[in-house]
Every structure is written in structure tokens, then in C-alpha cells.
Amino acid sequence: MAYNRYIYDKAENVLSFRRQKAFQDAEERRQKIYSKLPRVREIERQLASTGFSAAKAVADGSSDIKTELSKLKETNQRLQTELRILLVKNGYTTADLEEQYICPLCTDHGFVDGRMCGCMKNLLREITFNELNSLSPLALARFDTFDLSYYPNTPDENGKVPRVRMEKIFNFCKNYAEEFDGHGKSVYMEGGTGLGKTHLSLAIANRVIERGFGVIYCSAPDILEKMRFGNFSKNFSRETLGHLEECDLLILDDLGTEFPNPFSSSCVYNLVNKRILLQKPTIMNTNLSHEQIKKFYTERFLSRMIGEQIYLTFIGKDVRITRGRMK
């Protein structure tokens, strides 16, 4: 997959920082070891000079290069052994004198023999995901911060008890996150504002990310706005769209609050449809009722988007208001 320059530059910065850090850390370790064991530095200098002597012997065309080189080799091995033993005796290894890279394969350069290293690929993906997720309060919403006591424990006008319903939904979401394998069912969450849809979606996102999957959370109006102004803005490219289509879990929040037009409707349809074809689950949230969403989207959209998904209806009163009153 190709990425735009902006994402590349960010990745290069991260790699350059990693290399610098590896160098600084190694330098610190070396200085510590040298001050404790001055002999280590002496050995290192001698080792460097045996290398130089060998090169000199060859360059000078000494009469007996073979004997001289084997002598140097012997000295070199003797010094190496002394160094190893001295370090181990004091609780170190020779690796402590060298740079420790996060990716030893490419020594944090991102490329090996002209080919992109796996660590660079991961980094590019991670940065793209972070860019897309940067506007969401991902860190704040977790299952353990979801409070069921804000939901009334008495039947509403339809005879349904919000807390009982929400407990079921909460347990469903928790299991969904625990059992998520990248190919499960999609989820459609419907209900008025402030009933916890965003909180539970983000809690799923957090848990699924913890379990090692790639998750993108975005508000539908926000992402549609970015799509509308071309695929060529700084943070949004065709590659970004590719991530939305292919990430393990996509969460589209606030569906239906975008400006309704055939463009947004077809964008959402194409995106979610592509994911259904790839068997990648999507979680969609909307504050609108079934009747209201019908006005925004076509029948085709509804049957495809909603028909094949797990349908969760949130009920109760706006818990943000309840929370305010309780304080």
C-alpha cells in the first residue's frame, strides 16, 4: 500500500528518533562501563589498532604477510576473549557496548537492501491509524468507566426497563470486544443522544486495540467532509480510504448527522459495502430513529447496512443530563 508524503515524513522522524536514542543510550552505557572498568576502553583501542596494523601490513606488502596477519588475528582473538570475560564478570555483555535497535533487522533505518522493512510498514500503518483516531477521546471510554446506575431501573412508557436493556447491551459489547477476531458481525447502534453509544463503541475500540487489532474510529460527518474535499488533503488520501476499507474494525459514529446528500449517502454505502465484501466488521452509531434514517438513505442502503447487522437499540434518558443532576 502506498502512503502520502506526510505519513512518510512522520515515519522517518520516528525512525531517526529511534536511531538517535539507540546511540545515546549506548553512549551512556559505554561511559558507565569505561569509568567502572577502564581496561575495557584500553582493549577496544587495542582492537582498533590491530585492525589498522593488519591493513598496514597488507598495504606495505611486508615480506611475510601471512605470519604477520596470523599473529594479529591471534592478538585480536585474545583481546576479544579478555573483553568478554571481563564484561561478564561484572554483569555485562559485549552487547552493552553496542547500539540496541528496536528493529535489529534494519537497525531502525526502515529499509533492508533497498526493500521496506516490516517495522516501517507497521509504523506507516500505526501513524495513519493515529492520525485518523486523533480526534476521538479514545482513552477516556472504557468498559470499567461505563456506569449502569445512570439508567432508570423502572419501566418506561413502553414497559421496558432501561437499566435491564442497557445491561444486556453492555454485556453484548464486552463479549463482542473479547471475542473479536476480525471477521465477526457488524453492529448497528440506534438511540437518542447521550445514551452511551459512543462510550460503548470506544470501549470496544480500546479493548480490540489492546488485543492487537487495527481499529479506526471516526465520526461519519467528519470523514465525509474530508472525502468531499477531495482525496488529496494533507491527512486524507486514497491510502487513508484504503485503511478505512481494510482496517480490522471501523467505527462510524454519528451516522446521519452529516449533511444529507446523494454524495454522502453513496460514500457511506460504498465504504460499508466494501467492508462487508471483505468480511470486515463495522460498528455504526446513529441518534436517528429508523424512520428518520430512511429519509437520509435509500432502501438499498438500509437493507444492506442495517439488514445484515446486529441491531442494538439504546433506551433511557440522556445519561449526561442525569449525571449533571446527580453531581
* Contacts with Zn ion, residue ranges (CB under 5 A): 103, 105-106, 117, 119
- Alpha carbon distances (Å) from 287 to 114, 143, 158: 50, 21, 19
The 10 Å Cβ neighbour count of residue 218 is 19
- Cell numbers at 214, concatenated: 487495527
φ/ψ of 285, rounded to 5, equals: -120, 140
Least distance from Zn ion to the Cβ atom of residue 258, Å: 40
Least distance from Zn ion to the Cβ atom of residue 211, Å: 24
At residue 301's C-alpha, the angle toward residues 300 and 303, to 5°, is: 65
Report helix, strand or coil for 64: coil
273: buried, middle or exposed (CB in 10 Å: 19+, 13-18, 0-12)? middle
- Cell numbers at 27, concatenated: 553512549
Q: Is-contact 165 262, C-beta < 8 A?
A: no
CB of 21 or CB of 274, closer to Zn ion: 21
Least distance from Zn ion to the Cβ atom of residue 124, Å: 12
Least distance from Zn ion to the Cβ atom of residue 108, Å: 7
CB of 65 or CB of 105, closer to Zn ion: 105
CB of 105 or CB of 278, closer to Zn ion: 105
CB of 15 or CB of 272, closer to Zn ion: 15
Least distance from Zn ion to the Cβ atom of residue 103, Å: 3
CB of 83 or CB of 103, closer to Zn ion: 103
Please report where in the chains the cell 579478555 appears, as a residue. Answer: 82
The DSSP bridge partners found for residue 217 are 251
Q: Cα–Cα distance between 135 and 218 in angstroms, integer? A: 8
Least distance from Zn ion to the Cβ atom of residue 215, Å: 24
CB of 104 or CB of 307, closer to Zn ion: 104
Q: Is-contact 13 108, C-beta < 8 A?
A: no
